[in-house]
Amino acid sequence: MKKDRAPSIYAKITKLNTICATLSGLILLFMTFSIFVDVFLRYVFNRPSIWVTEVSSYLMVYIVFFGTAYALQLGAHIKVTFISDFFSSKAKRIIELFTSIFAMLFILCLLWQTSRMTWEAFTEDWVSPTILSAPFAYIYVAMVFGTFMLFWTFLFKSILQFRETIKKNSG
């Protein structure tokens, strides 16, 4: 008898998503603290830092892309349900299947484009045109990783939900 590996793979994905979400939270904590310190330095001592604003904007990319797969895992993404409320449960499942397919296609396009951009940033040594000259490749890699995790989370969550629906209907 063939063992179904999808639940165990999804369990590993959810653990990695939880680690990424925790890392997102820590980055947010660091960013909040550094902005607080910068505001204090700016308005109390009239000595602002030169790096906080730029680094905070780059860290926001990490926060967003490291947290999206976890949000999907929890079902915390925004959904428009007022239209689907008019349909039967079978029609809702079909609509959900089609929207999942379209969402995964969009995510694959996003993954392709962020990968291309990151590769260009690595090969052409893109840096920010600021005093920090931050290498963009290390900022963009968060988009690739986050989108990659979002795709696999979406795929396995959809597979498991679809299988559960089939079990409910046949049993």
Please write the tens of the pLDDT for every residue from 144-157: 999 999 999 999 99
pLDDT (tens digit, 9 = 90+) per residue, 124-142? Answer: 999 999 888 999 999 999 9
Local structure of residue 113 (DSSP, 8 states): H
Element holding 144 (H helix, E strand): helix 136-170
Residue 63 predicted with pLDDT over 60: yes
Element holding 154 (H helix, E strand): helix 136-170
Residue 56 predicted with pLDDT over 80: yes
pLDDT at 99: 87
Those residues with Cβ within 8 angstroms of residue 78's Cβ, 6 or more apart along the chain or in another chain: none
Give the CA-trace dihedral at 116, 122, 124, 127, to 10 degrees: 110
d(CA 150, CA 146): 6
92: confidence class by pLDDT, cuts 50, 70, 90 = confident
Q: What is the mean pLDDT of the chain?
A: 90
Residue 85 predicted with pLDDT over 90: no
Residue 31 predicted with pLDDT over 70: yes
Give 135's strand partners.
127
Contact 51, 127 (CB under 8 A): no
Those residues with Cβ within 8 angstroms of residue 131's Cβ, 6 or more apart along the chain or in another chain: 50
pLDDT at 141: 97
Residue 60 predicted with pLDDT over 60: yes
User: Around Cβ 84, how many Cβ atoms within 10 Å?
Assistant: 13
Mean of the pLDDT values across residues 107-125?
97
Residue 91 predicted with pLDDT over 80: yes
pLDDT at 1: 45
Say what angle helices 136-170 and 89-123 make with each other, to 10 degrees. Answer: 160
